[in-house]
């Protein structure tokens, strides 16, 4: 159990903000499977301020997923402040500011990891978001710009002084992107340098590995990203089940949540097939099963096929 500001996180294993994946159905599924807190995919401050329908739809939440953090990105302190003020009307438990995304379409506009090159601007953004929203603010960033500029410690101190109630440190530099290996020693240095909770991130692929990161770095919690895709069991000590029927049970629960909160399913068929296909990696007959999933021509056909597969495994 972890206390952040005035809310309790029941488990120190958190779902990362994954663009295109950390929507409401997936967050609810991960909470059901043990995640202590989930973060929305990163949401554009401009999209919120200008009332873009698709952007506002990403703010949907329900009480069952509490506590929840909405992640915001942008590089203009005024726009970020306005967006935070609007976001506060949706009553998330926390706003998380993305200062770590290395993707060019984000950094070319000065947002994400590019903000690590301008700590003064980053500080103005944190203060504006905190003051305009009245909500607790967290900040997610990387070890530095590159190997010659490892600035996570000073950046974390700046975030704490600006009013951040916790920080998440990804152990790679901006230039590394998602290549190479995350450096856990940087996370340990940040933990020693600040008094607020520190969340470790990068390369965690299992519950036991998350425990190892906390032991090695002293961090208060860990954030799991890519390893959770098709594998919500990563938040459980028991890990991914070996029984196909149990995996299919998780798949069908995910579909149930998609049906409840995302519409219309047939228009989203390509995205749904991509999400579901991930469950069948490293799975007996995975190639055949995934081919059947990707060849489905409607959501109804996809769901019928998955129920049939689950029944067959139960009868074996």
Is 38 in contact with 27 (CB distance < 8 Å)? yes
Is 272 in contact with 305 (CB distance < 8 Å)? no
Catalytic hit among 30, 38, 94, 101: 101
Is 99 in contact with 116 (CB distance < 8 Å)? yes
3-state secondary structure string across 19-72: CCCCCHHHHHHHHHCCCCEEECCCEEHHHHHCCCHHHHHCCCCCHHHCCEEEEE
The DSSP secondary structure of 81-146, one letter per residue, reads: HHHHHHHGGG--SEEEEEE----HHHHTTT-GGGGGG-HHHHHHHHHHHHHHH-S-EEEEEEEEEE
The answer to whether 11 is a known catalytic residue is no
How many whole angstroms separate alpha carbon 20 and alpha carbon 36? 21
Strands 221-224, 43-44: parallel, antiparallel or unpaired by DSSP? Answer: unpaired
How many whole angstroms separate alpha carbon 262 and alpha carbon 29? 14
| Catalytic residue ranges | 101
């Amino acid at each position: 159990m972890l206390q952040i500001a005035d809310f309790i996180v029941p488990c120190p294993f958190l779902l990362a903000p994954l663009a295109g994946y950390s929507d409401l159905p997936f967050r609810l599924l991960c909470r059901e499977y043990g995640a202590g807190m989930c973060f929305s995919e990163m949401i554009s401050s401009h999209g919120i301020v200008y009332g873009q329908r698709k952007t506002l739809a990403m703010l949907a939440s329900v009480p069952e997923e509490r506590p929840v953090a909405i992640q915001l990105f942008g590089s203009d302190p005024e726009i970020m402040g306005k967006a935070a003020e609007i976001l506060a009307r949706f009553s998330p438990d926390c706003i998380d500011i993305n200062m770590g995304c290395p993707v060019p379409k984000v950094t070319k506009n000065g947002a994400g990891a590019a903000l690590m090159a301008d700590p003064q601007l980053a500080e103005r953004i944190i203060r504006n978001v905190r003051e305009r929203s009245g909500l607790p603010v967290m900040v997610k960033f990387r070890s530095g710009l590159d190997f010659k500029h490892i600035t996570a410690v000073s950046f974390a101190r700046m975030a704490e002084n600006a009013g951040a109630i916790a920080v998440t440190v990804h152990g790679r530099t901006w230039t590394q992107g998602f290549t190479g290996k995350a450096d856990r020693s940087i996370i340990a240095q940040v933990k020693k340098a600040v008094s607020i909770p520190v969340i470790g991130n990068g390369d965690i692929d299992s519950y036991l590995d998350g425990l190892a990161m906390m032991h090695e770095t002293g961090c208060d919690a860990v954030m799991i990203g890519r390893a959770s895709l098709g594998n919500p069991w990563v938040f459980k000590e028991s890990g991914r089940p070996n029984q196909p029927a149990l995996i299919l049970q998780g798949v069908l629960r995910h579909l149930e949540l998609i049906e409840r909160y995302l519409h219309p399913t047939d228009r989203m068929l390509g995205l749904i097939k991509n999400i579901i296909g991930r469950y069948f990696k490293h799975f007996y007959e995975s190639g055949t099963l995934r081919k059947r999933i990707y060849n489905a021509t409607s959501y109804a056909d996809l769901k019928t096929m998955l129920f049939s597969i689950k029944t067959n495994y139960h009868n074996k």
